[in-house]
Amino acid sequence: MAALFILTFPTPALMSAADVQSPEIRFHALVPPGAAAEKLAGGFRFLEGPAWHPTGAYLLFSDIPAGKVFRFDASGVSVWRDPSQHSNGNFFGPDGTLYTCEHGARRVTRTSPDGEPMPVAETFEGKPLNSPNDLVVQRDGTVWFTDPTYGLEGRKKEQRANFVFRLNPATGELRAMAGEEFGQPNGLCFSPDERRLYVGDSDEKQHLIRVYDVAAADGTLSDGRVFCTVVPGVPDGMRCDRAGNLWTTAGDGVHVYSPEGELLGCIPVPETPANLCFGGLDGDELFVTARTGLYRVRLPR
């Protein structure tokens, strides 16, 4: 019994190690105590789709109902694309190519060198997409996007599910990788090693994030499972940090989860956030689009 006691109850040294790993301490290693969301700009209608240009030192973001894409840089905010076809998610590929989800045109576009959006995905099985919402580009250039119904706005849904799609931009091949299990697939991101794909379900009855294992050869998803349930509100945009922690928008701010799905903490945001991305010249800024405002949280380098 004595040996069992020793094994079961931690020594003071072990308790100290456990303290170091508490969620609060791990959270504050990522987000300093007192870190606050700083409002960079306001007066918009509904913001989403923040994307930091990998070399250009600027951020793009969408005002969906206003039908514009804005640019934020050291000199402030300016209109970058007008009209935007009510664009939502934006993502810069590794070579700086911009991909955009457009609710209005029900398509995904790639921005050509002359600045014009060129469609790269418009139909699946011969039918119009629902309303592509958010997207992510892998290191090899493969594009993944979600296709919920939020942007249909009275138009007929023609897809048989709300899919998660994988697009090979070189060949145009579009494959449905997941969908039946979703109410409304929305934000998505890969783990740093791209072996896991996270997809949020913003359906109010679901309000959870699923995670899948990703086959390196062809992207096939397996072992889909619930990673976490998001409360309050629903998950929307999300990103992984370099350590694999998952940062997602939620009803009360930005929630940070460990790679194991443990909630580490929340960064409050004055307005309900819908999307986020990392950026800044040193990669130590978190940009958050939240209804009518663009916010920033400065993080440790």
Q: Which residues have a Cβ under 8 Å from the Cβ of 292 and sit 6 or more positions away?
A: 42, 43, 44, 45, 46, 47, 271
Q: Does 102 bind Mg ion (CB under 5 A)?
A: no
Helix, strand and coil percent figures for the chain, each rounded to 5: 10, 45, 50
Tell which one of 84, 130, 133, 248 touches Mg ion (CB under 5 A).
Answer: 133
Residues 167-186, interacting with Mg ion (CB under 5 A): 186
> Residue 143 Cβ, how far from Mg ion at the closest point, in Å?
16
> Residue length, the chain?
301
Burial class (CB in 10 A: 0-12, 13-18, 19+), 175: middle
Q: Does 134 bind Mg ion (CB under 5 A)?
A: yes
Tally the C-alpha atoms within 13 A of residue 26's C-alpha that lie toward its C-beta: 18
Which range in 55-63, 131-139, 170-178, 245-253 contacts Mg ion by CB under 5 A?
Answer: 131-139
Q: Does 162 bind Mg ion (CB under 5 A)?
A: no
Burial class (CB in 10 A: 0-12, 13-18, 19+), 297: buried
Which range in 32-40, 128-136, 215-223, 239-247 contacts Mg ion by CB under 5 A?
Answer: 128-136
> Residue 100 Cβ, how far from Mg ion at the closest point, in Å?
13
Six-digit token string for 209: 């994030």
**49 closest CA partner among 35, 31, 67, 76:** 67
> Residue 48 Cβ, how far from Mg ion at the closest point, in Å?
5
> Residue 115 Cβ, how far from Mg ion at the closest point, in Å?
24
> Residue 70 Cβ, how far from Mg ion at the closest point, in Å?
17
> Residue 49 Cβ, how far from Mg ion at the closest point, in Å?
8
Q: Which is nearer to Mg ion, 50 or 219 (CB)?
A: 50
Site string for Mg ion, 226-245 (x = CB under 5 A): ----------x---------
The residue count for binding Mg ion (CB under 5 A) is 4
Tally the C-alpha atoms within 13 A of residue 96's C-alpha that lie toward its C-beta: 9
Residues in the site for Mg ion, rule: CB under 5 A? 133-134, 186, 236
